[in-house]
Amino acid sequence: MENYGDKELNLPRLQSGVILFGMLDYRAHKLLWLMTLPFWLTTRLLYFVTIFVAIIIAQSTSYGTLIKIFIANLVCQGILLVLKIIISIIGRVLQGFFFFFVDVVPAHGANAEEAREIALTGRLFELNKKLENEIQNWTLDDTDEYARLMNWRVRLLGAFRRRLYKVVPELQRIHDESGKQPRELGMAGVDEVAAKLGLRPSWIERAINSPSSYNSLLAIAIISIVIARDIHL
């Protein structure tokens, strides 16, 4: 018998003819991360292989340097677009298999839906929920932890953390005066608060924060440098 209150589970169990392995949401997140790590590493390898192939194709032509760079980037972006679609489909299938066999039990989440989100995104979901619905309880430690969960590019730039240090007190002031939580203000309202403080994200920050934009920019840079130096791979 499961005892969710005491965080005890007897595993596995049978439900509708399918063996389900019950697991607390935060533990399910760790297991899902470990299971998908090889898949993630493979996608990164494919990314650089794509750049390599695009350069070879461009270098095999007799066009000038600028045209070669254009061809390589066109080929690279086309392949990356196809790969993105395929990877997205495979990722959804893997997640589907995981949730088919693993019965995610709410521990940090308030219900089954939140437990599933925690399994997918971990601590980030909990902090987002607190930021949107309990701004009055948000602390500096929460800000530091939230910033640490961002990708390495955002952490390196540091602008996200500095902006949060200034935006959160303003959101707390708004809550004290109006009782409104950030969720009630909406994304547009929070962006407006940041803009009034002169803290709107720069285009550079937005570009490097987006995986798609960052991957495209990095590919363009690598292709341009390699072909411009006329390095034959």
Q: Are residue 225 and residue 112 in the same domain, yes or no?
A: yes
For position 13, what pLDDT does the model report?
54
Residue 186 falls inside a structural domain: yes
Q: Are residue 195 and residue 137 in the same domain, yes or no?
A: yes
Q: Are residue 179 and residue 99 in the same domain, yes or no?
A: no
Residue 208 falls inside a structural domain: no
Q: Are residue 110 and residue 49 in the same domain, yes or no?
A: yes
Residue 210 falls inside a structural domain: no
Q: Are residue 22 and residue 91 in the same domain, yes or no?
A: yes
Residue 215 falls inside a structural domain: no
Residue 212 falls inside a structural domain: no
Residue 116 falls inside a structural domain: yes
Q: Are residue 87 and residue 117 in the same domain, yes or no?
A: yes
The range of the structural domain enclosing residue 109 comes to 1-121+220-233
Q: Return all residues near 171 (Cβ < 8 A) that are at least 6 apart.
A: 135, 182, 185, 190, 193
For position 20, what pLDDT does the model report?
66
Q: Return all residues near 144 (Cβ < 8 A) that are at least 6 apart.
A: 161
Q: How many domains does the chain have?
A: 2
Tell me the CA distances in angstroms from 122 to 7, 15, 95, one per residue in order: 18, 26, 14
Q: 185-189 long-range CB contacts below 8 Å, 24 or more apart?
A: none
Q: Are residue 41 and residue 117 in the same domain, yes or no?
A: yes
Read off the tokens for 154: 């955002």
The predicted model scores a pTM of 0.79
Q: Are residue 9 and residue 95 in the same domain, yes or no?
A: yes
Q: Are residue 98 and residue 191 in the same domain, yes or no?
A: no
> Tens digit of pLDDT per residue, the chain (233 long)?
344 444 444 445 555 545 467 889 999 999 999 999 999 999 999 999 999 999 999 999 999 999 999 999 999 999 999 999 999 999 999 999 999 889 899 999 999 999 999 999 999 999 999 999 999 999 999 999 999 999 888 888 888 889 999 999 999 999 999 999 999 999 888 889 988 888 888 888 888 888 888 999 999 999 999 998 865 44
Q: Are residue 112 and residue 225 in the same domain, yes or no?
A: yes
Residue 211 falls inside a structural domain: no
Q: Are residue 137 and residue 79 in the same domain, yes or no?
A: no
Q: Which of 16, 12, 55, 11 is nearest to 226 (CA)?
A: 55
Residue 209 falls inside a structural domain: no
CA atoms in the 13 A half-sphere facing the CB of 136: 8
